[in-house]
Amino acid sequence: MKNIAPFNQISSIEKVIKKYFPSNEKLHSLTEDEVAMCGAAHDVDIMYMFNDRTWLDVWNDSDAFWIDHMIRMFFYSLTIPAEYYREINNYPKICSEENENNVRFLLTGLLYMCTVAGFNDKSSPPRASYSILNHLDPKKPYETYDGYIDPIKDFFPSLIEKYTSEQLFLLSILFMELPKHADISELGKKYWTWIYENTDDDIREKIMKEFEEKS
């Protein structure tokens, strides 16, 4: 299936992703002492990387492969300052799963761009981590072994509910390309193909026009 996105043109992709995954909210904005306190039992470097910065700030200032590696290795370290930030600002209390999904949602634009950077990686060995798969592939790629069938990731259904139809379609385009570069679960392939094929025509045409204008 031919994709409509010019994945070899990173700047063109970035313009569309910035529009549909807006960078107007920060995971946390804390003092150095507060970050250090949150990092007592977790990786503090990734907390500082995102402190008082939007995903676009991080994308513009850091290497895509380093960002993707850090998120892959230390994602859960970002949930600690995010939770603390909500607490000190008296935001409504939410459960840990909702907090984690909020972080996933706010990172989606960044994960998308890191994935596109991976598509264009010509180094040997490849540097791409494709950490987006940890969050938006509904199952692990090797889901059956020794008679055990890996379940759907618990957080996935409620995470998907956060996205607009436009965002889901953009993600489906990405997931049409991903199997060429990384292992994806069979359910993941089926799910994102279904999203791709069943998106309303008006949304599909709108996104296609965006890429034509940005290319």
Q: How is residue 199 written in tokens?
A: 């998106």
Calpha distance 84→162 (Å, rounded): 22
Which among 96, 181, 169 is positioned nearest to 133, based on CA atoms?
Answer: 181
* pLDDT of amino acid 145: 58
Contact 121, 65 (CB under 8 A): yes
**Mind listing the pLDDT tens digit of every residue in the chain (215 residues)?**
565 789 999 999 999 999 999 889 999 999 999 998 987 767 899 999 999 999 999 999 999 999 999 999 999 999 999 999 999 999 999 999 999 999 999 999 999 999 999 999 988 788 899 999 999 999 887 655 566 667 789 999 999 999 999 999 999 999 999 999 999 999 999 999 999 999 999 999 999 898 887 65
CA angle (145 as vertex; 139, 149 as ends), nearest 5: 45
DSSP state of 179: G
Model-level pTM? 0.93
Calpha distance 3→179 (Å, rounded): 13
Contact 96, 37 (CB under 8 A): no
Q: Is 68 exposed, middle or buried (0-12, 13-18, 19+ CB in 10 A)?
A: buried
